[in-house]
Amino acid sequence: MLQNIDMSLVDWSRGQFALTAMYHWLFVPLTLGLSFIVAIMESIYVRTGDPEWKKITKFWMTIFGINFAIGVATGIILEFEFGTNWSKYSWFVGDIFGAPLAIEGIMAFFMESTFIAIMFFGWNKVSRKFHLASTWLTAIGANLSALWILVANAWMQNPVGMHFNPDTARNEMSSFWEVLFSMSAVNKFLHTISAAYILAAIVVVGISAWYLLRNRHIVFAKRSIVVASVFGLIGILNTIGTGDNSAREIAKEQPMKFAAMEALYDGKTHAGLVAAGALKGENKESEIRQRDFIFKLEIPSALSYIVHLSPEGFVPGINDLIYGNTRRGILSFEEKADRGLVAINALRDLKKAKDNDPEKYAELRAQFENPEWVNTYFKYFGYGYFKAHEPAKIIPNVAISFYSFHTMVGLGFFFVLLMFFSLIWSINNKITQRRWFLYVLVWSIPLAYFAHEAGWVLAEMGRQPWIIQDILPTMAAVTNLTSATVQVTFWLFTIVFTALLIAELKIIFKQINLGPKDGGQ
């Protein structure tokens, strides 16, 4: 099925999307979180009238503005790349996927871009309350835009609320509410935005800690730390809670991703959760390129408990999902590919019959409306593309999935401690005495970004080889371009994004160095 596809084109197209998404995500979480932190700070200023709070607000607002612009720049590319590089995808699921993107524009982007102008330029033009409302509306707009794109992404992980229309050869939406309120969408949204809050909190706390180390802007720094620590602590606790829910959802809807995250090859009850571990290289003799552990630290039965809330629960491994497990009712890859091929062939035959064989067309058309047939065959449509391919093709990269997952989770728990002590020690005024902790706070800034990127690597690489889980392989979604064309744009974007990133970092470092008095006023 995939013989005619230029794999180099697929790889470069994926590379380009990954590049854009990863750059984009360097800026977005700070925008999401800092917008609320600034709104909280300005609220305190409006309530107390204390000019120090105005100074604090304006400084963080400046940082917000610098970061916002570059987030917008990379964001527009992402939206249009669905069309430019993934046009088959855009048609196949545009009926469902396009709606959240449009709503994002109408509902969120306008709110964000309208009120951000007042936030920056309205200090002397509108009343204090109007200004404060604008700051809050900017934050709400930014977070609403995250809602819609995350709903769209969650739908790619767990496609619900749709049916296939063979006449148009695409999937069509059947329930907007199912798309919006699927558990995957709810968890993804809450998990991602609360993770953004912790990142923004760490940036604020880290920069403030740097001032304390330099003995500069003491009041500014201490107040910033208190606000950001409370915000960050709430954020990280929510991140962990929703992360737990997400894991359960992944185990249900994307069992292969879940198995890869834990490098679990043989399914079992009382499955342990790997707290830390290192993997060996691929075993070339194994059909599925198995990777064993060099060492691992396991929490007994924890994985079963996470998935089933019971240690007795069975967690399937990669082998179960490839070779099937009749006892547990799991179909083999071979069986799914056969069934998927039946669905693909039915669609081909229907297309052929449409103009010259009305009877056959009617018969095949009825099949696509028959829930039993859809559930038996069409459900595995995407697997049909992999018929005659080795099973390893449907396994995501286990090492990347495993390490990105454990990096993200490990750092998440570290951030709990970080925010907790930063709050406690700043409230009891001991934070300046613990210089080692101030250094830890400063150096945690890159770690927060690292955790975020790891999270997205897991979400997207762990879903492979699917662009839409079980429905459409990434390989079958790419636009018919030459690999050279995409290489040119890949390098073009790499150069521009990198230059802009350097510029943004230099400007931000300069603003930090200038400090709130010069930079923020």
Contact 392, 385 (CB under 8 A): no
User: Burial level of 217, CB count in 10 A (0-12/13-18/19+)?
Assistant: buried
| Closer Cβ to other proteins, 400 or 512, answer by number | 512
Task: Return the number of the residue (108 or 196) whose C-beta is nearest other proteins.
Answer: 108
Taking CB under 8 A as the criterion, which residues in 62-101 touch other proteins? 62, 65-66, 68-70, 72-77, 79-80, 82-88, 90-91, 94-99, 101
Judged by CB under 8 A, the chain residues 444 through 463 that form the site for other proteins are none
Paired tokens of 392: 């390893």
Contact pick of 103, 321, 394, 467 for other proteins (by CB under 8 A): 103
Q: Which is nearer to other proteins, 7 or 499 (CB)?
A: 499
State the minimum distance, in angstroms, from the CB of residue 467 to other proteins: 14
Residue 182 interacting with other proteins (CB under 8 A): no
Q: Which is nearer to other proteins, 62 or 224 (CB)?
A: 62
- CB nearer to other proteins: pick between 82 and 189: 82
Closest approach, Cβ 166 to other proteins, in A, equals 11
Stretch that binds other proteins, among 218-226, 380-388, 458-466, 480-488 (CB under 8 A): 480-488
The nearer residue to other proteins, 18 or 73, going by C-beta atoms, is: 73
Ramachandran area for residue 324 (φ above 0: left; ψ -120 to 50: alpha; else beta):
left
The Cα 58–Cα 64 span in angstroms is 10
Phi-psi region at 49: left, alpha or beta (left = phi > 0; alpha = psi -120 to 50): left
Do 223 and 52 touch, CB atoms closer than 8 A? Answer: yes
Q: Closer to other proteins at the Cβ: 115 or 368?
A: 115
Region binding other proteins by CB under 8 A among candidate stretches 263-271, 331-339, 449-457, 479-487: 479-487
- By the 8 A CB rule, do 223 and 207 touch? no
Neighbours of 50 (CB within 10 A): 12
Nearer to other proteins, 85 or 157 (CB): 85
The answer to whether the Cα torsion of 367, 370, 376, 379 is positive or negative is positive
* Extended strands (E) in 338-441: none
Binding residues among 378-417 for other proteins as defined by CB under 8 A = none
| Count of C-beta atoms within a 10 Å radius of residue 106 | 10
Per CB under 8 A, the list member of 11, 15, 120, 400 interacting with other proteins is 120
Neighbour tally for 389: CB within 10 Å: 15
Dihedral sign, Cα of residue 291, residue 293, residue 297, residue 302: positive
Least distance (Å) between residue 259 CB and other proteins: 32
Alpha carbons 311 and 214: distance in angstroms, whole number: 51
Query: Residue 450: which of 501, 494, 506, 411 has the closest Cα?
Result: 411
- Where in 43-62 is the site for other proteins (CB under 8 A)? 58, 62
Select from 31-39, 126-134, 269-277, 395-403 the region that touches other proteins (CB under 8 A). Answer: 126-134
Of 167-175, 257-265, 281-289, 396-404, the segment contacting other proteins by CB under 8 A is: 167-175
Is 218 an interacting residue with respect to other proteins (CB under 8 A)? no
Tell me the two tokens of residue 41.
Answer: 């700070």
Measured CA distances, 327 to 159, 251, 301 (Å): 27, 18, 21
Q: Of 266 and 349, which has the nearer Cβ to other proteins? A: 349
Q: How far is the CB of 246 from other proteins (least distance, A)?
A: 26
Rule CB under 8 A: choose which of 117, 219, 294, 299 binds other proteins.
Answer: 117
Range 134-153, binding other proteins (CB under 8 A): 134
Q: Residue 405 corresponds to which amino acid?
A: F
Residue 93: C-alpha distances to residues 90, 165, 189, 341, 374 (Å): 6, 11, 21, 20, 17
Q: Whose Cβ is closer to other proteins: residue 148's or residue 456's?
A: 148
491 binds other proteins (CB under 8 A): no
